[in-house]
A and B are shown apart, each in its own frame.
Chain A
Amino acid sequence: MIQIPALRFGKTYTSLDKAQLIHHVTGEPIAEVSQVTGSMIARDLANMARAHRELRSIPIRDILAMYAKAADYFLNSALPCGDAELTYDQYIRHLSATTGSPIVFCDRNARKVHYVLSHIEEVIGGLTRGLPLEAFDKGYTTAGGRMQAFFPTTDVLGAVLPSNSPGVHSLWVPTIAFKIPLLLKPGREEPWTPYRVIQAFIKAGIPATVMGFLPTDHAGSADILRLCGRSMAFGDDRSMAPYKNDPRVEIHGTGYSKILIGADQADRWEEHLDVLVEAVAANGGRACVNTSAIWTPKNADAIAWGMAKRLATVKPRPWDDPQCEISAFAKPEVAEAINNMVDEGLKTPGARDVTQEVRGTPRLVKEGRCAWLLPTVIRCDSPDHPLANKEFLFPYTSVIEYPHADLLQRIGYTLAATALTEDPAFIAECMGCANIERLNIGPLPTNRLTWDQPHEGNLFTHLYKQRALQFAHAVTAA
Chain B
Amino acid sequence: MKDTPGKPAPVTGATLEEKIKNAKAQLDAHIREVVRWHFSPETGTPFWLEKAKEFDFDPLKDINGWEDIKKFPIFQDDWLRGGPVRRWVPKGYADRPIYVFETGGTTGLPKTRVVIDDFRIDYEMMSDTLPDEYFPRGSNWLMLGPSGPRRLRLAIEHLAQYRGGICFCVDLDPRYVVRCLKDRKIAEAQYYKDHVIDQALTILAGGHDIKCMFTTPKLLAGLDEALRAGKLEEKYRSLGKPIPPGGLRSIRSTGITGIFSGGTEFTPQFTREAYEEMLDNGAVYMTPTYGNTLMGLACSKPIGPHDNFKITYYAPQPRAVIEVVNPKNYNELVPYGCTGRVLLSTFTKEFFVPRFPERDEGEREPPYEKYPWDGVSGVRPFSELAATTVVGVY
Q: Residue A222 contacts which of B186, B221, B277 (CB distance < 8 angstroms)?
A: B186
Q: When the two chains form their complex, are residues A17 and B269 in contact, meaning their CB atoms are under 8 A apart?
A: yes
Q: Residue B268 contacts which of A16, A42, A46, A241 (CB distance < 8 angstroms)?
A: A16
Q: Residue B273 contacts which of A39, A226, A241, A242 (CB distance < 8 angstroms)?
A: A39
Q: When the two chains form their complex, are residues A39 and B221 in contact, meaning their CB atoms are under 8 A apart?
A: yes
Q: Mark B298-321, 1 if CB is under 8 A from A, else 0.
A: 000000000011000000000000
Q: Is B51 an interface residue (CB 8 A)?
A: no
Residues of chain B contacted by A37 (CB below 8 angstroms): 221, 269-270, 273
Residues of chain A contacted by B278 (CB below 8 angstroms): 39
Q: When the two chains form their complex, are residues A15 and B228 in contact, meaning their CB atoms are under 8 A apart?
A: no
Q: Is A383 an interface residue (CB 8 A)?
A: no
Q: Residue B184 contacts which of A40, A46, A241 (CB distance < 8 angstroms)?
A: A241
Q: Is B267 an interface residue (CB 8 A)?
A: yes
Within 8 A of B (CB), among A421-465: none
Q: How far is the CA of A376 from the CA of B115 in the complex (A)?
A: 61
Q: Is B224 an interface residue (CB 8 A)?
A: yes
Q: When the two chains form their complex, are residues A242 and B187 in contact, meaning their CB atoms are under 8 A apart?
A: yes
Q: How far is the CA of A42 from the CA of B231 in the complex (A)?
A: 14
Residues of chain A contacted by B225 (CB below 8 angstroms): 39, 42-43
Q: When the two chains form their complex, are residues B273 and A40 in contact, meaning their CB atoms are under 8 A apart?
A: yes
Known A-B contacts A40-B277, A46-B228, A46-B229; the reply to A35 vs B269 at CB < 8 A is: yes
Residues of chain A contacted by B190 (CB below 8 angstroms): 226
Residues of chain A contacted by B186 (CB below 8 angstroms): 222, 226, 242
Q: How far is the CA of A38 from the CA of B270 in the complex (A)?
A: 10
Residues of chain B contacted by A38 (CB below 8 angstroms): 221
- Interface size of A in residues (CB-CB distance below 8 Å): 16
Residues of chain A contacted by B185 (CB below 8 angstroms): 242
Q: Mark B194-226, 1 if CB is under 8 A from A, else 0.
A: 000000000000000000000000000110110
B300 → chain A closest CB, angstroms: 16
Q: Is B272 an interface residue (CB 8 A)?
A: yes
Q: Of residues B224, B268, B273, which shows the largest number of chain A Cβ atoms within 10 Å of its Cβ? A: B273
Q: When the two chains form their complex, are residues B308 and A16 in contact, meaning their CB atoms are under 8 A apart?
A: yes
Known A-B contacts A46-B229, A222-B186, A242-B186; the reply to A39 vs B224 at CB < 8 A is: yes
Q: How far is the CA of A226 from the CA of B272 in the complex (A)?
A: 24
B177 → chain A closest CB, angstroms: 12
A155 → chain B closest CB, angstroms: 14
Q: Is A146 an interface residue (CB 8 A)?
A: no
Q: Is A238 an interface residue (CB 8 A)?
A: yes
In the complex, which residue of chain A has the Cβ closest to the Cβ of B222? A39
B378 → chain A closest CB, angstroms: 11
Q: Mark B276-288, 1 if CB is under 8 A from A, else 0.
A: 0110000000000
Main secondary structure of the interface of A (DSSP, over half): helix
Within 8 A of B (CB), among A21-66: 35, 37-40, 42-43, 46
Q: How far is the CA of A363 from the CA of B221 in the complex (A)?
A: 47
Residues of chain B contacted by A15 (CB below 8 angstroms): 269
Q: Of residues B224, B269, B308, which shows the largest number of chain A Cβ atoms within 10 Å of its Cβ? A: B269
Q: How far is the CA of A222 from the CA of B185 in the complex (A)?
A: 11
Q: How far is the CA of A15 from the CA of B271 in the complex (A)?
A: 11
Within 8 A of A (CB), among B252-279: 267-270, 272-273, 277-278
Residues of chain A contacted by B272 (CB below 8 angstroms): 16
B390 → chain A closest CB, angstroms: 11
Q: Of residues A16, A43, A238, which shows the largest number of chain B Cβ atoms within 10 Å of its Cβ? A: A16
In the complex, which residue of chain A has the Cβ closest to the Cβ of B271? A16
Q: Of residues B225, B267, B268, B270, which shows the largest number of chain A Cβ atoms within 10 Å of its Cβ? A: B225
Residues of chain A contacted by B187 (CB below 8 angstroms): 226, 242
B96 → chain A closest CB, angstroms: 43
Residues of chain B contacted by A242 (CB below 8 angstroms): 184-187
Q: How far is the CA of A42 from the CA of B193 in the complex (A)?
A: 15
Q: How far is the CA of A43 from the CA of B187 in the complex (A)?
A: 20
Residues of chain B contacted by A226 (CB below 8 angstroms): 186-187, 190
A251 → chain B closest CB, angstroms: 14
Q: Mark B85-117, 1 if CB is under 8 A from A, else 0.
A: 000000000000000000000000000000000
Q: How far is the CA of A17 from the CA of B269 in the complex (A)?
A: 6
Residues of chain B contacted by A222 (CB below 8 angstroms): 186
Q: How far is the CA of A17 from the CA of B308 in the complex (A)?
A: 12
Q: How far is the CA of A350 from the CA of B186 in the complex (A)?
A: 38
Q: How far is the CA of A241 from the CA of B272 in the complex (A)?
A: 34
Residues of chain A contacted by B270 (CB below 8 angstroms): 37
Q: When the two chains form their complex, are residues B228 and A43 in contact, meaning their CB atoms are under 8 A apart?
A: yes
Q: How far is the CA of A42 from the CA of B194 in the complex (A)?
A: 14
Residues of chain A contacted by B229 (CB below 8 angstroms): 46
A351 → chain B closest CB, angstroms: 30
Q: Mark A142-162, 1 if CB is under 8 A from B, else 0.
A: 000000000000000000000
Residues of chain B contacted by A241 (CB below 8 angstroms): 184
Q: How far is the CA of A43 from the CA of B222 in the complex (A)?
A: 11
Q: How far is the CA of A40 from the CA of B269 in the complex (A)?
A: 11
A160 → chain B closest CB, angstroms: 13
Residues of chain A contacted by B224 (CB below 8 angstroms): 39, 43
A156 → chain B closest CB, angstroms: 15
Residues of chain A contacted by B273 (CB below 8 angstroms): 37, 39-40
Residue numbers of B with Cβ under 8 A of A are 184-187, 190, 221-222, 224-225, 228-229, 267-270, 272-273, 277-278, 308-309
19 additional A-B pairs beyond A43-B228, A226-B187, beta carbons within 8 Å, are A15-B269, A16-B269, A16-B309, A37-B270, A39-B221, A39-B222, A39-B224, A39-B273, A39-B278, A40-B273, A42-B225, A43-B224, A43-B225, A43-B277, A46-B228, A46-B229, A222-B186, A242-B186, A242-B187
Identify 25 residue pairs between A and B in the complex whose beta-carbon atoms are under 8 Å apart, listed by A's number.
Answer: A16-B267, A16-B268, A16-B308, A16-B309, A35-B269, A37-B221, A37-B270, A37-B273, A39-B224, A39-B225, A39-B273, A39-B278, A40-B273, A40-B277, A42-B221, A42-B225, A43-B225, A43-B277, A46-B228, A222-B186, A226-B187, A226-B190, A242-B185, A242-B186, A242-B187
**Nearest 8 Cβ contacts at the A-B interface:** A39-B221, A16-B269, A17-B269, A242-B186, A42-B225, A16-B268, A222-B186, A242-B184
